[in-house]
């Protein structure tokens, strides 16, 4: 398991609540751990360091010296061991060197003594020869004996004073010929020099080393034979230098040393072994001379055979050193791990402390008996009770609301039995100062690092504000629902893609049930376009981003549902539904009663207009009768005249034709009047159509003229050139014009006494106005005009200054013009005589509901 996890586990077990047998509180444990580590980690403290702590190396040394101790110990130990081993080695070498000196001296002595002994034997033989005590054969026998006893001597001869050989042993030796001088081959100069030296000094002389054909070194010993100071020759002995080493050197020494003989020129002449010298430092050289010609003996020590105790000792020391080093390294590593663990623990502790202090959620731990073992600072802050006052307490707890102990105890029992609801529970918590708040508590089992269930952990959140917000939200929602449910409008939301009804208020459900069919049926007024396919919505707005769709709303439409015989005003728009998808909301308001009222009003209006027209006709009845009477009287007169002429018999057809034509003209005139009256009072459904202005004006003027002529008022019309086409109901516009002309004529009639005749003008012209392209129709009279005070009152219903007037004419005229999106008003004429009623009618057809 990684170190950090192990540490975390240990930390958890340390921070676990109080164990029944553990008297120390977890927070105290943590405090103790923190205090223990605090000194070591003072460098990490946020406090400003003082004194030596300012120095970085001092801080790191103080905080890490114990890690270095094992390292220092390891180094010291390794150095000590190396020193001991080196000392042992030096001692051993010194011992070897001492024994080398000793043994070399011994060997030197041995060789010298042997050579001197040989020298003595040969000197003795030389003296015998000089004394001439024996014959030659006896000398030879003695010499042979010497050769046998001293194998290092390879040749002996007797040379007389003239260096002639008297005898030689063995006679076959190479030296026998080398020492014999022949004319062809002179003797070796070294031998000659040595001989001459022996002659001159009459003492024993050793020659310089001689070499044979195989490169072996030899040494010549000449012992002079002197009788009474006469030099009689020499007794010569040839030593094999190699033989000296082989035969004179003690065998026990040659095993341990390599002996060599070296001449004074430092040339190696012989060696006991061909093995190279193993150690130049263990070499010793001693001079043999005398005897010999400046020969030196050199001894090179072979490495000693295994010294078991020493070797074992060295191995033991080495092994123990390795073990000690390993153990020190283990200690160092362990110490370092421990330091890391401590540092991590300290960090974790600090983090936990910081977390506890900054946490807004209150935490409380209970042991298995229901006793508080831990509270965090947030819990104390929320309740107002300190940690010391809470920890260790058993129920009832001081923050329980008054008179609710039984209920609270039940909750604690449930908690301890593990029956606390997973969604937590709400409770009122009393603060120490007597105020209270609402909290939600969640409970979970507390399991320590060893997996033992040690208690219960509760988290407490202050939900006063969320609760209040929730209650307000619920109240708002209830209000909203109440309003929505009690609306007389059917509110529905449909998902365009699936056609699913997402929301419907009660009114919708009453009308259409729980399906989306009602929503779709209200979707379009045009049944052919309304396929009832919900994907139509999407297709209709394909490509538009949702943000645009949601800001898009349709105008209100009035939809008639034949099945229900109801009218609905339908508004709809796209909204972002709660799940983020696009949805279509539709509000259908039942406007059946309004539509019925409007129908009634319209019918009433129509009746009123019709009545008004009848009234107008009634008022003009005498004039009309008079007007009709004239053609009828004329027709009657013409007919009577024609009859009289026919009876008298003086008439010819030619005379009668003009009469009959006049009669017909009068009949047409009467017919036209009747036709206009019929057209005026004809009861028909109001209907707009394209109508030529001139036709309307002619009909209106035709009717009004009858009354005007009775009152001796002339009507003058001025119309725009060409045909001005209006999209109006011609009967209603004619009614307006007749009304205005009749009023004008009547107003003129009031002033009959002052003027002989009067003129009423009807001027029409096209113009541009705030309504766009319009036709202006002015009815200009020369009557008394209108008071500024009563100017607007003229258009009120039942306002009349006439004794027989109803006062409805102008009111109906204005409503007719306004229903054609026009204006009607009155202005006094600029010259101060009479007034002008002005009509403004848009030329552009405005399609509108009737």
- Which positions lie near ligand ADP, rule CB under 6 A? 743-744, 747, 781, 783-784, 786, 794, 799-802, 805-807, 809-810, 835
Assigned token pair, 748: 């003129």
CB nearer ligand ADP, residue 290 or residue 805? 805
Which residue, 370 or 805, has its beta carbon nearer to ligand ADP? 805
Q: Which is nearer to ligand ADP, 593 or 801 (CB)?
A: 801
Q: Phi/psi of residue 246, each to 5°?
A: -70, -45
Nearest distance in Å: CB 787, ligand ADP: 9
Measured from the CB atom, the residue of 17 and 758 that comes closer to ligand ADP is: 758
Cα Rg, the chain, nearest whole Å: 76
**DSSP 8-state symbol, 553:** B
CA distance 779 to 818: 17
Smallest separation, CB 721 to ligand ADP (Å)? 27
> Could you tell me the smallest distance in angstroms from the CB atom of residue 554 to ligand ADP?
42
The Cα–Cα gap between 214 and 231 comes to 34
Rounded-to-10 torsion of CA 807, 811, 812, 818: 170
CB of 486 to ligand ADP, least distance (A): 46
> Mind giving me the DSSP string for 399-431?
TSPTT-HHHHHHHHHHHHTT---TT-EEEEEE-
Q: How far is the CB of 832 from ligand ADP (least distance, A)?
A: 13
**359-368 burial: b if 16+ Cβ within 10 Å, else e:** eeebbbbbbe
Return d(Cα 618, Cα 87) in angstroms, integer: 158
202 or 615, CB closer to ligand ADP?
615
In the complex, minimum distance from the CB of residue 781 to ligand ADP, in angstroms, rounded to a whole number: 5
Which tokens hold the place of 488? 């007389």
Judged by beta carbon, residue 724 or residue 743, the one nearer ligand ADP is 743
Give the Cβ contact number of residue 26 at 10 Å: 20
Q: Residues 153, 155, 158, 160: is their CA dihedral positive or negative?
A: negative
What is the spatial distance between Cα 250 and Cα 240, in angstroms, rounded to a whole number? Answer: 17
For residue 688, give every residue at least 6 positions away whose Cβ sits within 8 Å of its Cβ, in sequence order, or none: 727, 728, 729, 820, 845, 850
The Cα 19–Cα 373 span in angstroms is 9
Find the helix packing angle between 26-38 and 3-15, rounded to 10°. 130
How many Å apart are CA 224 and CA 221, to the nearest integer?
Answer: 10
DSSP state letter for 563: T
Of residues 774 and 794, the one with the C-beta less far from ligand ADP: 794
Contact (Cβ atoms closer than 8 angstroms) between residue 524 and residue 542: no
**Residue 7 or residue 733: which is nearer to ligand ADP going by CB?**
733
| Chain Cα centroid distance, residue 720 | 78
- In the complex with ligand ADP, which residue's Cβ is closer, 702 or 809? 809
CB of 601 to ligand ADP, least distance (A): 20
**Least CB distance to ligand ADP at residue 816 (A):** 13
Of the pair 248, 780, the CB lying nearest ligand ADP is at 780
The distance of closest approach from Cβ of residue 766 to ligand ADP in the complex, given in angstroms and rounded to an integer, is 24
Measured CA to CA, the distance from residue 258 to residue 276 in angstroms comes to: 9
CB of 499 to ligand ADP, least distance (A): 58
* Closest by Cα among 646, 603, 77 to 329: 77
Name the residue with tokens 């029944």: 20
Residue 777 CB, nearest distance to ligand ADP (Å)? 14
- Bond into 290 cis (ω within 30): yes
Give the C-alpha separation, 825 to 791, whole Å. 9
Q: Least distance (Å) from ligand ADP to the CB of residue 837?
A: 7
Are the C-beta atoms of residues 557 and 526 closer than 8 Å to each other?
A: no
834 backbone φψ class: left, alpha, beta (φ>0; ψ -120 to 50): left
Nearer to ligand ADP, 448 or 781 (CB): 781
Smallest distance, Å, CB 730 to ligand ADP? 21
Work out whether strand 296-301 and strand 257-262 pair parallel, antiparallel, or are unpaired.
Answer: antiparallel
CB of 272 or CB of 743, closer to ligand ADP: 743
Distance, in Å, from the CA atom of 301 to the CA atom of 282, rounded to the nearest integer, reads 6
Joined together, the tokens standing for residue 90 give 């030096």
Q: Which is nearer to ligand ADP, 372 or 744 (CB)?
A: 744
Residues 6+ apart with CB under 8 A from 408: 395, 396, 397, 400, 401, 427
Q: Report the nearest approach of ligand ADP to the CB of residue 739 (Å).
A: 6
Specify the residue, 286 or 751, whose C-beta has the smaller distance to ligand ADP.
751
Nearest-approach distance from CB 603 to ligand ADP, in angstroms: 22
Residue 704 or 747: which CB sits closer to ligand ADP? 747
Shortest Å, Cβ 700 to ligand ADP: 15
* Cβ atoms of 458 and 374 closer than 8 Å: no
Which of 57/754 has CB closer to ligand ADP? 754
Mapped onto helix, strand or coil, the DSSP state of residue 270 is: strand
d(CA 740, CA 131): 207
Sheet holding 257-262, edge to edge: 268-271, 257-262, 296-301, 283-287
- State which residue, 362 or 809, has the beta carbon closest to ligand ADP: 809
- Residue 118 in 3-state DSSP? helix
Paired with 367 in beta bridges are 455
Q: In Å, how far are 153, 221, 696 from 671, measured between CA atoms? A: 196, 199, 18
Q: How far is the CB of 600 from ligand ADP (least distance, A)?
A: 24
> Smallest distance from the beta carbon of 794 to ligand ADP, in angstroms?
4
The whole-angstrom distance between residue 148's C-alpha and the CA centroid of its chain comes to: 109
* Closer by beta carbon to ligand ADP, 384 or else 805: 805
């Amino acid at each position: 398991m990684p170190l950090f996890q192990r540490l975390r586990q240990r930390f958890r077990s340390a921070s676990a609540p109080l164990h029944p047998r553990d008297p120390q509180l977890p927070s105290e444990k943590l405090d103790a751990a923190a205090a223990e580590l605090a000194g070591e980690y003072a460098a990490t403290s946020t406090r400003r360091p003082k004194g030596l702590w300012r120095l970085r190396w001092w801080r790191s040394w103080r905080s890490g010296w114990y890690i270095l101790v094992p390292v220092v110990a390891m180094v010291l130990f390794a150095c000590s061991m190396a020193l001991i081993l080196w000392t042992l080695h030096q001692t051993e070498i010194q011992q070897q060197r001492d024994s080398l000196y000793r043994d070399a001296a011994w060997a030197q002595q041995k060789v010298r003594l042997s050579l001197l002994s040989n020298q003595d034997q040969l000197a003795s033989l030389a003296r015998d020869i000089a004394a001439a005590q024996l014959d030659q054969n006896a000398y030879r026998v003695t010499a042979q004996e010497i050769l046998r006893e001293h194998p290092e001597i390879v040749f002996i001869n007797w040379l007389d004073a003239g260096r002639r050989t008297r005898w030689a042993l063995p006679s076959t030796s190479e030296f026998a010929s080398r020492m014999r001088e022949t004319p062809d081959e002179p003797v070796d100069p070294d031998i000659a020099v040595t001989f001459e030296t022996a002659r001159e000094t009459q003492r024993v002389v050793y020659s310089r080393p001689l070499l044979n054909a195989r490169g072996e070194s030899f040494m010549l010993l000449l012992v002079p034979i002197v009788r009474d100071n006469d030099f009689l020759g020499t007794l010569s002995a040839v030593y094999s230098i190699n033989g000296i080493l082989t035969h004179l050197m003690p065998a026990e020494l040659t095993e341990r040393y390599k002996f060599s003989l070296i001449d004074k020129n430092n040339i190696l002449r012989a060696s006991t072994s061909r093995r190279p010298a193993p150690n130049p430092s263990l070499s010793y050289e001693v001079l043999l001379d005398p005897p010999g010609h400046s020969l030196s003996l050199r001894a090179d020590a072979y490495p000693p055979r295994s010294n078991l105790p020493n070797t074992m000792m060295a191995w033991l020391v080495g092994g123990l050193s390795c073990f000690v080093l390993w153990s020190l390294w283990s200690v160092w590593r362990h110490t370092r791990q421990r330091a890391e663990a401590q540092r991590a623990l300290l960090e974790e502790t600090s983090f936990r402390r910081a977390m506890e202090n900054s946490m807004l959620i209150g935490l409380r731990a209970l042991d298995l008996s229901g006793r508080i073992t831990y509270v965090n600072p947030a819990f104390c802050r929320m309740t107002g009770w300190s940690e010391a006052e809470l920890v260790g307490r058993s129920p009832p707890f001081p923050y329980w609301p008054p008179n609710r102990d039984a209920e609270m105890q039940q909750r604690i029992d449930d908690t301890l039995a593990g029956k606390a609801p997973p969604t937590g529970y709400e409770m009122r918590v009393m603060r120490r100062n007597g105020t209270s708040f609402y909290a939600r508590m969640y409970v979970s089992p507390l399991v320590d690092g060893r997996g033992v269930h040690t208690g219960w952990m509760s988290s407490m959140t202050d939900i006063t504000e969320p609760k209040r917000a929730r209650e307000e939200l619920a109240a708002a929602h209830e209000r909203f629902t109440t309003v929505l449910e009690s609306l007389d409008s059917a509110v529905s939301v449909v998902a365009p893609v699936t056609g699913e009804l997402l929301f419907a208020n009660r009114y919708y459900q009453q009308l259409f049930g729980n399906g989306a069919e009602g929503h779709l049926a209200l979707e379009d007024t045009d049944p052919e376009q309304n396929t009832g396919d919900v994907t139509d919505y999407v297709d209709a707005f394909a490509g538009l981003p949702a943000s645009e769709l949601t800001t898009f709303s349709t105008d209100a439409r009035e939809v008639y549902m034949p099945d229900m015989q109801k009218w609905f005003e339908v508004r709809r728009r796209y909204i972002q539904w709660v799940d983020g998808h696009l949805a279509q909301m539709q509000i259908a308001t039942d406007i059946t009663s309004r539509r019925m009222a409007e129908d009634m009003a319209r019918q009433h209006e129509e009746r009123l207009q019709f009545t008004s027209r009848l009234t107008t006709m009634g008022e003009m009845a005498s004039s009309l009768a008079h007007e009709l009477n004239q053609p009828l009287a004329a027709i009657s007169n013409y007919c009577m005249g024609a009859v009289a002429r026919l009876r008298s018999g003086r008439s010819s057809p030619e005379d009668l034709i003009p009469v009959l034509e006049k009669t017909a003209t009068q009949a047409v005139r009467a017919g036209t009047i009747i036709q206009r009256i019929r057209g005026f009072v004809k009861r028909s459904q109001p209907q707009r159509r394209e109508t030529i202005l001139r036709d309307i004006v002619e009909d209106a003027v035709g009717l009004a003229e009858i009354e005007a002529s009775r009152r001796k008022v002339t009507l003058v019309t001025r119309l725009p050139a060409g045909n001005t086409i209006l999209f109006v109901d011609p009967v209603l516009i004619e009614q307006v014009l007749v009304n205005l002309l009749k009023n004008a004529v009547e107003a003129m009639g009031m002033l009959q006494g002052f003027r002989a005749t009067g003129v009423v003008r009807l001027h029409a012209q096209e113009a541009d106005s705030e309504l766009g392209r319009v036709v202006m129709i002015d009815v200009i009279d020369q009557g008394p005009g209108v008071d500024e005070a009563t100017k607007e009152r003229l258009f009120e219903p039942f306002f009349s200054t006439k004794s027989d007037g109803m006062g409805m004419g102008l009111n109906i005229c204005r409503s007719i013009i306004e229903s054609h999106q026009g204006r009607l008003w009155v202005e006094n004429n600029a010259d101060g005589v009479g007034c002008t009623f002005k009509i403004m009618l848009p030329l552009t057809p405005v399609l509108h509901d009737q």
